Amino acid sequence: MTKTIRVPSAATKQPGLAHAVLALGGFAIGTTEFATMSFLPAFASELGVDAPTGGYVVSAYALGVVVGAPLLAVFGARLNRRLLLIFLLTWFGLGNCLSAMASSFDALVALRFITAIPHGAYFGIAVLVAAGMVQEVRRGVAIGRVLLGLTLATMIGAPVANVISQWLGWRWGFGALGLLSCMAAALILFVIPIQERIVGASALGELEALRRPQVWLSLGIGAIGFGGLFAVYTYLTSTLELVTKSSAVATPVVLAVFGAGMTCGNLAAPYLAKRGPMPAAGVLLAWSAFALALYPLTVDHVWSVGVAVFAIGWGGGLGTLLQMRLMDVAGDAQGLAASLNHAAFNVANALGPYLGGLAIAAGYGWASTGWVGCGLALGGLAMWRLALANDHRAAQLGCANLTKKA
Between residues 338 and 378, which one has the greater pLDDT? 378
For residues 133-143, average pLDDT: 71
Per-residue pLDDT, averaged over 11-35, amounts to: 82
CA 14 to chain CA centroid, Å, is 26
Residue 123's closest CA among 22, 20, 19? 22
Higher pLDDT: 70 or 76? It is: 70
Picking from 5, 11, 4, the residue whose alpha carbon sits closest to that of residue 138 is: 11
Q: Which residue has the higher pLDDT, 25 or 197?
A: 25
pLDDT at residue 277 greater than cutoff 60: yes
pLDDT at 299 over 80: yes
Assess contact for 73 and 127: CB atoms under 8 A: no
What one-letter code names the amino acid at 255? L
CB contact at 8 A, 399 and 245: no
Average pLDDT, the chain: 82
Mean pLDDT of the 370-395 span:
91
- The conformation of residue 245, written as its DSSP 8-state character, comes to -
Asked if residue 274 lies in contact with residue 144, where contact means CB atoms within 8 angstroms, the answer is: no
Proportion of the chain above pLDDT 90, given as a percent: 30
* pLDDT at residue 7, rounded to an integer: 38
Band of residue 10 on the pLDDT scale cut at 50, 70, 90:
very low
Distance CA 21, CA 30 (A): 14
- Please, what are the domains in the chain? 15-405 (1.20.1250.20)
* Selection from 33-37, 135-139, 401-405 with the highest mean pLDDT: 33-37
Say how many C-beta atoms besides its own lie within 10 A of residue 264's C-beta.
17
Over pLDDT 70: what percentage of the chain?
A: 86
Instruction: Calculate helix-pair angle for 15-46, 227-234, nearest 10 degrees.
Output: 50
Over residues 134-149, mean pLDDT: 74
Mean pLDDT of 263-281: 84
Per-residue model confidence as pLDDT tens digits over 229-269: 989 988 888 899 889 888 878 888 888 898 889 888 888 88
Residues 357 and 162: their CA atoms lie apart, in Å, by 21
Cα–Cα distance list, 330 to 34, 274, 322 (Å): 29, 20, 12
Average pLDDT over residues 190-199: 67
In this prediction, residue 2 has a pLDDT band, given cuts at 50, 70 and 90, of very low
The Cα 35–Cα 265 span in angstroms is: 20
- Sort 207 into a burial class: Cβ within 10 Å, 0-12 / 13-18 / 19+: middle
Q: Return the pLDDT at 194.
A: 66
pLDDT, one tens digit per residue, over 149-169 is 887 887 788 788 878 877 888
* 118 contacts: CB under 8 Å, gap ≥ 6: 68, 72, 87, 88, 89, 91, 92
pTM above 0.85, yes or no: no
pLDDT at position 341, please?
A: 80
Asked if residues 37 and 352 have their Cβ atoms less than 8 Å apart, the reply is: no
Q: Residue 118 and residue 72: Cα distance in Å, rounded? A: 7
Q: Is the pLDDT of residue 125 over 70?
A: yes
Residue 381 predicted with pLDDT over 50: yes
Q: What is the mean pLDDT of residues 25-52?
A: 84
Give me the amino acid identity at 100: A
Q: Residue 14 — pLDDT band, cuts 50, 70, 90?
A: low
Q: Is the pLDDT of residue 211 over 90?
A: no
Other beta carbons within 10 Å of 365: 15
